[in-house]
Amino acid sequence: MEVILKETIKNLGEIGDVVTVKPGYGRNYLIPTGRAAYATPDNLRILSQEKEELERKQQAEKELIATRSKEFENLRLTIEANVTEEALTWLQSVASAGNHLLSFTSSASVPLADILVSHIALAQWLTADASRSGEGRLWREEGGEAARLLLEEVISTARDTSPVCGREYAAIFDKLLADTVVHLNHNEPTRLRIWGPLESRLQHADLVIIGELNEGTWPRRSDTDAWLNRPMRESLGMMTTEMDDALVVAGVAEGGPAQRADVRVGDFILGVGGQPVKELAEMFRRVWATGEAGVGIPLTLSRDGQMLDLTVQSVNRSDSLNSPQLH
């Protein structure tokens, strides 16, 4: 079936696009959640009118920007200030060092690799001091190392790509850094480990020091946490997966909490506890926020185009773990 997207959906399309989707996905998820509308002749006509109006506004904005740009072409700004000879010399050296990068960023077409090399050279020059080189200061610690590796890879691959507009370099650079993950190195002793109740049931060691030991009460029941999705599936008795920016029930345990609450395979999960969810991690956080195991988990589902509100009575996942034998 064809639908009109009301918002941009990853791997599907952007807002205003007319796309073809599976009938169940469209009727049970996209349309009930307001993310899309049926591609009827009336809706397509409205979409066409909205696109024409948007294009007119964009063209008017471009013309206004072009007009204002011409007004500022010959404008020069002079700021009078009292500065020391040393400060003036430093400012002149900064201007001289930055001229190369400035010439690139004001160009209509320039290789991305050349801009990056010039940018790095200027950054290293600015961070250098009398005791340490700019290269040593700029790329230090995990963040600097991640940036260095990223820029080296981009420079290597960018030499085979088309030139870019220099004026767009700032946005390109911000995007490159925004998508980079920095992994912190936590150096811990190799022979010492601090375990919680759950880890201690699953690990072995030559010597174990037990804290807060009370006969018959340790290890206590494990708290829910954000890292164990397998026990999460046990506590609700259902398997959930991400599909085309939606959460779908892929399986339910026979006789489990989800099945008893009438959750079915193929149901779309729209919300938990009255809050909308789109990703598995987000759903887990909402479930854990409702409280300890044993509480009711309110779910909002979509099934055959209809919205359903069900409550799944969770069970304690630690019941499935083997308790240690204390001697």
pLDDT tens-place string over residues 26-39 = 888 888 888 888 98
Q: Note the pLDDT of residue 212.
A: 59
Task: Report yes or no: 273 and 300 within 8 Å, Cβ to Cβ.
Answer: no
CA geometry: angle at 237 spanning 294 and 27, to 5°? 115
- State the Cα torsion 221-226-230-232 to the nearest 10°: 70
Amino acid at 218: W
Mean pLDDT for 64-87 is 69
CA separation for the pair 294, 282 (Å, rounded): 20
The candidate with the shortest Cα–Cα distance to 269, out of 295, 298, 291, 293, is: 298
**249 φ, ψ (degrees, to nearest 5):** -75, 115
Answer whether 0.95 is exceeded by the pTM: no
pLDDT tens-place string over residues 209-227 = 776 555 455 445 444 343 3
CA separation for the pair 278, 271 (Å, rounded): 8
pLDDT tens-place string over residues 193-206 = 777 766 666 667 77
Q: Note the pLDDT of residue 221.
A: 47
CA separation for the pair 169, 192 (Å, rounded): 48
Task: Select the more confidently predicted residue: 259 or 68.
Answer: 259
User: Would you say residue 169 has pLDDT above 80?
Assistant: yes
Question: What band does 318 get if pLDDT is binned at 50, 70 and 90?
Answer: low
Mean pLDDT for 166-172 is 82
Report the percentage of the chain scoring pLDDT > 70: 79
Task: Report yes or no: 298 and 21 within 8 Å, Cβ to Cβ.
Answer: no
CA separation for the pair 143, 150 (Å, rounded): 11
CA geometry: angle at 84 spanning 80 and 86, to 5°? 125
Task: Select the more confidently predicted residue: 304 or 67.
Answer: 304
CA geometry: angle at 16 spanning 279 and 14, to 5°? 40
The total number of residues written for the chain in this structure: 327
Q: Note the pLDDT of residue 224.
A: 39
DSSP class of 292: S
Contacts for 221 with CB less than 8 Å, ≥ 6 apart? 197, 316, 318
Least confident range of 71-75, 233-237, 320-324: 320-324
Q: Note the pLDDT of residue 167.
A: 81
Question: 298: buried, middle or exposed (CB in 10 Å: 19+, 13-18, 0-12)?
Answer: middle
- Please name each of the domains of the chain with its CATH number: 2-67 (3.40.5.10), 85-178 (no CATH), 229-320 (2.30.42.10)
Least confident range of 79-83, 93-97, 147-151, 257-261: 79-83
